Structure 1
Amino acid sequence: MSTTARRAGLAIVAAALALTGAVYGATRPASADVTAQLTASQLVADMGAGWNLGNQLEANANGIPNETAWGNPVVTQALIDRVKASGFKTIRIPVSYLGNIGAGPNYTVSAAWLTRVAEVVNYAYNQGLYVLINMHGDGYKAVTGSWLICDSSDQTTIKDKYQKVWQQIATKFQSYNEHLVFESMNEEFDGQYGNPTSACYSNINAYNQIFVDTVRKTGGTNASRWLLVPGWNTNIEYTAGNYGFVLPTDQYRSTSIPSAEQRLMISVHYYDPWDFAGQEDGTITQWGAAATNPAKKSTWGQEDYMDTMLKKMYDAFVTRGYPVFVGEYGSIDKTTYDAASNTYRVNYAKALVSTAKKYGAATAYWDNGYNGQHGFGLFNRSSATVTQQGIISAIVTAAGGSQPTTTPTSAPTSSPTSSPTSSPTAGPSGTCRVVNAVNAWNTGLTNTITITNTGTAAINGWTLTFTLPSGQTIVSGWSATYTPASGTVTATNASYNGALPAGGSTSIGYQANHTGNAAAPTTVKLNGATCS
């Protein structure tokens, strides 16, 4: 995703992250982790629903990668656990190297940075998830220290540097099994959105070939693992059409791979129509056949167009044994302009994943960690909680997975249909504590409520009542059901968080509109007991 779009309002944090060389996750040797080699169709099915870590390891401060530089907190195991628990089976981790690459001729990558990358990879890999890592921001002209520039005059130096950096990355992860996938680069192009130039496209093809050859030659699982390569700017038309994309040869792959099978995947992104998916205004807030207001719906890029574009990838690659990976897609939050916007975001995500699956492609939703106006976020990364359960449910279901909760697969609303799975057991007065974490903007807000049972007895099923300030109306919620949408609200536990042992906590939350008062709710009671 482009630098401007991916930041989506994230604040720039001046402090740099202090990196250490400590290893916090255990790398599993290949000998203890051998899995059967999957065919293309088996791989796509096994990858299931995918999610992007977004800008975390791509962010930089003055050209030095720094995971908190663009406003996100440090990545934690708790966040990845929440992503997995939500039904995702694949996590794409964009990585920039930039100023963490030393001078030539060796171009040594910072050991501390590779260690941190491996630590974040292990958060997901050690949980049995598929993980994709790439070289993400090194090819953006607008980024300080970028160098993987396809229309630069010094291609000899660029290609030498690229080869040596990937050799180090591949060696670092040599023992990881095939649940780790390497992606050669991200949205590589010359910065012009018109037709690709042949000279620049030729260099992109050369980068892909260098990547495949280099990774394969490091041996181990790298000789057989799936590798992901993009065309011009990960654009479907410019990859599948007759514009110059050339598939790399795979001559150094393991002889254990049957000759009729491939081990290369094709990477594309999908944000069409952009006026719905990413344009930061309130003009186009609806999408698809269910749209109710033609004035708020784009004149192109609906279900038929989506089907046509993904079929192009199927015809060009899947039919030849090369699976496709839609490594980024998504749409921003426009509920400040249209309260029903999240319904269409759900429909868009569901349609994209369903259509991709139909045409033999896996997918990964783009989440930049930002919630609220213009954000792509599905999770609150500070509290490791869900913020857009409706979109998550649509993605997981469309990918063929199952939800770990009873949350409806439509966008969350203020008129919930689910009910608790056990009868609430009240505790004595004063045996609960709540902490509100309100994040407000213009006319909207999100609030994450952490509920703690401070009593000595377990609570089996709960209802939390609270009073919203005047002018606030809940438009969506997660980890509980909420009714009514304003005034005194009752939040009832979901099926998975109704049991609160003594000292136990759970977090729930909601998004609301407001007319000027973004304060936290008052008069909070858990099963009738007033909370501190």
Structure 2
Amino acid sequence: MLFLLLPVGILAQATPQQMVARMDRGINLGNVLSAPYEGNWAPAVEESYFDDVAAVGFKTVRIPIRFDNQTTTLASVTYTDVNTGNYIGSANDYAVNTTYLDRIEEVVDWALDRGLIAIIDVHGDHWFWESYDASSSHYKTGNDRLAAEDRFRAIWRDISVRFQNKSENLLFEIMNEAYFSMSATEVDVVNADILSIIRNTNTTRNVIVNGGGLNSWQAPLQMSSTFLNSDNYLIATFHYYKPFNFTSSSKPQHNNFSWGTTSDKSTVDTHFDNVQTWSQANNIPVLLGEFGADNEGGYDYYNQTYGAYGGPDNASRVAYHEYLAEAAINRGFAFTVWDAGEKSNKTIYKATNRNWVTDVRNAVLGIDCLTSGIISNADIECGYNNDWSLWTDTAVTATIANASASENYNNSTSLKVAVSTAGSGFGKAVIRNQTVTDASLIGKTFVFSCRAKANTTTQQFKMRVKATVNGSSQLTASSTYDLSSTDYENFEFSYTVPANTTTLQFQVLVGKQTGDYFFDDFQVSEAIPEVLSIQEESTENTLVIYPNPTRDFIHIQTTKQILQYELYTFEGKMLLTTNTAPLQISNYTNGLYILKVLFSDRSSQYQKIIIKK
């Protein structure tokens, strides 16, 4: 029998104030689902994105989405009576593609399953809000306008119905930056209209709203008190990209590459104070839904080239992100920083290699460097001499330092150990992190990982955990890892904390060969095989699984008749059920998995599987 430990939901709906406190610091999944079609502007989002976002400490993901190309078109509907000219259409004439809703639900579930707050933000549907703008090609009047309104109602009807049973950690955002095309009165009317549709199926879900007519920090101030007082579950939002001459300075018309003077900061404070005063007067909490500045020097992370027109200097870009993040948090706002991936001009996360623009990420998270599990300064951004030290045997000569810019991983600070005289074993030179005391870790299994390379192809290293168990030191090391001399590669090591452990220390062993060693991006993730706890008859069967680690297939040999195979993440989420072998696993990302083999006599066995490509 398979036992799953499921969280118990809180029965009382979170108030908007409670939700904003819970949302805290977040990030936008920009240019993915808000593109005309997913993949047009950025790589299609994968489940690993949400692992990475949650692992570094973000609490919320705003998911901008475009529905236009996935909804019944206006041209396909007859909404004008040919005899009278009267409007005969309705929202029932339109529907969102159910396959697209399936995809959105998959993405939302990935976020919710990791304890993140998720926001469905109707973002790229300019056809609707620009239908109110006489200067736009989307401008509509008469029956055409009525049809556009019905189509937009249908979009929100289908969203509301599809997601009505999701947890309260899913929020809805009605429109994105409609204030560029719509007046305050027009936005109020649409907000009220769409809110009534949402409330038909989501009576207490928190909904994010904004005003019309004026943009940036002034936008929420334009919403009428009548609308604000009509509902108890509203969160206001605003975006902030001022001054454009700096935040958009990778473009030729903007050329201020520095930010951070007293005057610069005072302007932000004045604007944010106005929003805070409005928020307190109206008892409406606030989300800073977007902010950010262009990449340093206009850098294109996808093509790895600098822009033709320059861009913010890096110190100013980091300072801008840090100041706005803290300005929001200090006033009780939540925020979701704008990030649109490595193909955009505002990059924080790079999906292609699952890496971050580390200094900007840390700036918005309010940290100098990351702590991951028992490893502090895990990203080395606080430098080699913070929380890291090097011990060597007397026969070994080695030094520890920050790697040079040309040796760094992913343009971030990396750790370098130069071994000029090697010893007889790996443990003769030990890179040590801080010692941790935490009894709650006992019995848990952790996966330690890092990025590493060397300056020759003959160098190797090991990872190790030093534990104090029953008062004595216990050393548990990984297997031996071969290092590349050209590329940083990912390495993983699994460790279960023994009973009666009082202290733990993560270590890296580099004492056996001379040469330069480079390390970065240490991570610790908890594996919870206990969710696969079983009470079943034991079996004497010998089960052989190969290759392991694997990249494409898993082959199984056994003396018993197999009924079924089940593949799980280490956190206990089922990925695959089949009775066909070999198992095709090439679609799954690198990591640690659990394979359950169920036999015809109803006994079963489990095996850890490592996928490494």
- Give the TM interval when normalised to the shorter protein: 0.5 to 0.7
Determine which of 205, 212, 216 is the counterpart of 2:199: 216
Structure with a larger share of its residues in strand? 2
Q: 1:177 to 1:422 in 2, by over 3 A?
A: farther
2:236 aligned with 1:266, yes or no?
yes
- 1:178 matched residue in structure 2: 168
Give 1:150's aligned residue: 132
1:48 has 2:24 as partner: yes
SS in 2 for 1:317: helix
How far apart in 2 are the matches of 1:359 and 1:451?
41
Q: CA deviation at 1:134?
A: 1.6
Deviation at 1:239, TM superposition (A): 2.1
Structure 1 residues 436-460: Cα deviation after superposition (integer angstroms, max 9, x where no partner): xx9xxxxx98999965999999544
Distance 1:445 1:495 in 2: 15
Name the CA distance, whole Å, in 1 between partners of 2:413 and 2:38: 24
Corresponding residue for residue 354 of structure 1: 326
Shift in alpha-carbon separation, 1:210–1:359, aligned structure 2, 3 A: same
**Hey, what's the Cα distance between the residues in 1 that align with 2:331 and 2:289?**
15
Aligned pair count reads: 392
The residue number in structure 2 matching 1:167 is 157
Report 1:107-506 matches (<5 A).
Answer: 107-139=94-126, 149-151=131-133, 152-153=140-141, 154-190=144-180, 200-218=183-201, 222-232=202-212, 235-240=215-220, 244-246=222-224, 249=227, 262-281=232-251, 283-289=255-261, 302-335=264-297, 336=306, 341-370=313-342, 375-385=345-355, 387-397=356-366, 406-407=376-377, 416-418=384-386, 420=388, 459-460=463-464, 491-496=518-523
Q: 1 or 2 for the larger relative contact order (CA 8 Å, sep ≥6)?
A: 1
Check conservation: 2:180, 2:214, Cα contact below 8 A. no
Task: Report SS of the residue matched to 1:325.
Answer: strand
What is the letter of the counterpart of residue 115 of structure 2?
G
- How far apart, in 2, do the equivalents of 1:265 and 1:125 lie? 19
Q: Helix, strand or coil: the match of 1:182?
A: strand
Cα shift at 1:285: 2.3
In the alignment, the residues of structure 1 paired with residue 207 and residue 389 of structure 2 have an alpha-carbon distance, to the nearest angstrom, of: 44
- Contact 1:101-1:109 within 8 A present in 2 as well: yes
If the length of structure 2 is used for normalisation, what is the TM-score? 0.56
* Aligned residue among 64, 70, 80 for 1:100: 70
- The one-letter code sitting in structure 2 at the alignment partner of 1:231 is G
Equivalent pair of 1:185/1:229 in contact (CA under 8 Å):
yes
User: Structure 1: which amino acid aligns with 2:40?
Assistant: A
The secondary structure found in structure 1 opposite 2:518 is strand
Shift of 1:275: 1.6
When residues 149 and 270 of structure 1 are mapped into structure 2, their CA distance, relative to the original with a 3 A threshold, is same
Change (3 A) 1:347 1:408: farther
Secondary structure of 2:219 counterpart? helix
Label 1:283 to 1:223 Cα distance change in 2 as closer, same or farther (>3 A): same
> Deviation string for 1:2-27 (max 9, x for gaps)?
xxxxxxxxxxxxxxxxxxxxxxxxxx
1:375 aligned counterpart, secondary structure? coil
Deviation at 1:394, TM superposition (A): 1.9
Question: Is contact 2:317–2:360 with CA below 8 Å preserved after alignment?
Answer: yes
Q: Aligned letter for 1:87? A: G
CA distance in 1, matches of 2:43, 2:194: 31
Normalised to the residue count of structure 1, the TM-score between the two structures is: 0.63
Tell me: CA distance 1:138–1:450, structure 2 relative to 1, closer, same or farther (3 Å): same
Separation (CA, whole Å) in 2 of partners of 1:346 and 1:403 = 22
Once the two structures are TM-superposed, the CA of residue 87 in structure 1 deviates from its matched residue by 0.7
RMSD of the alignment, in Å? 4.4
Distance 1:456 1:356, change over 3 A: closer
CA contact (8 A) 1:52 1:93 kept: yes
Measured at CA, do residues 212 and 251 of structure 1 come closer, stay the same or move farther in structure 2, by a change above 3 Å? farther
* Structure 1 residue 238 displacement after superposition: 3.7
Q: 1:80–1:124: 8 Å Cα contact kept in structure 2?
A: yes
Structure 1 CA distance, aligned partners of 2:271 and 2:311?
Answer: 30
Structure 1 runs not aligned, ≥5 long = 1-28, 61-65, 141-145, 192-196, 254-261, 291-299, 426-437, 439-443, 469-487, 506-532
**Alpha-carbon distance in 1 for matches of 2:162, 2:110:** 16
In structure 2, the CA distance between the partners of 1:173 and 1:303, relative to structure 1 (3 Å rule), is same
Deviation at 1:248, TM superposition (A): 6.1
Q: Which runs of structure 2 are paired with 1:18-37 in the superposition (5 Å)? A: 33-37=9-13
Mapping 1:69-88, distance limit 5 Å? 69-70=40-41, 72-88=42-58
CA offsets 1:374-395 (integer angstroms, 9 cap, x no match): 732212202222x212222222
Report the 3-state secondary structure (helix = DSSP H, G, I; strand = E; otherwise coil) of the residue aligned with 1:158: helix
Q: Residues of 2 paired with 1:268 and 1:424: CA distance?
A: 54
Shift of 1:316: 1.4
1:49/1:457 CA distance change after superposition, 3 Å: same
Query: Aligned to 2:276, what secondary structure does the other structure show?
Result: helix
User: Residue deviations 1:352-388, cap 9 Å, x none?
Assistant: 11111222211111111126xx732212202222x21
**Percent identity between the two aligned chains:** 24
Give how far 1:160 is off. Answer: 1.9
The residue type equivalent to 1:317 in the other structure is S
Question: In structure 1, what is the Cα distance between the partners aligned to 2:113 and 2:104?
Answer: 14
Distance 1:323 1:421, change over 3 A: farther
What are the Cα deviations for residues 232-271 of structure 1, in whole angstroms up to 9, with x where unaligned?
3772354255xx5325637886xxxxxxxx3101111011
Q: Deviations over 1:384-418 (max 9, x none)?
A: 22x2122222222279x977663499x959x6544
Task: Tell me, yes or no, if the aligned pair for 1:324 and 1:362 is still in contact at 8 Å.
Answer: yes
CA distance in 1, matches of 2:172, 2:518: 43
Single out whichever of 332-341 and 107-116 deviates more from structure 2: 332-341
Q: How far apart are 1:503 and its partner, in Å?
A: 5.6
**Secondary structure, aligned partner of 1:249:** helix
User: Structure 1: how far apart are the matches of 2:213 and 2:377?
Assistant: 36
Structure 2: distance between partners of 1:452 and 1:248: 62
8 Å CA contact 2:236–2:284 kept in 1: the answer is yes
Partner of 1:513: none
Secondary structure at the counterpart of residue 364 of structure 1: strand
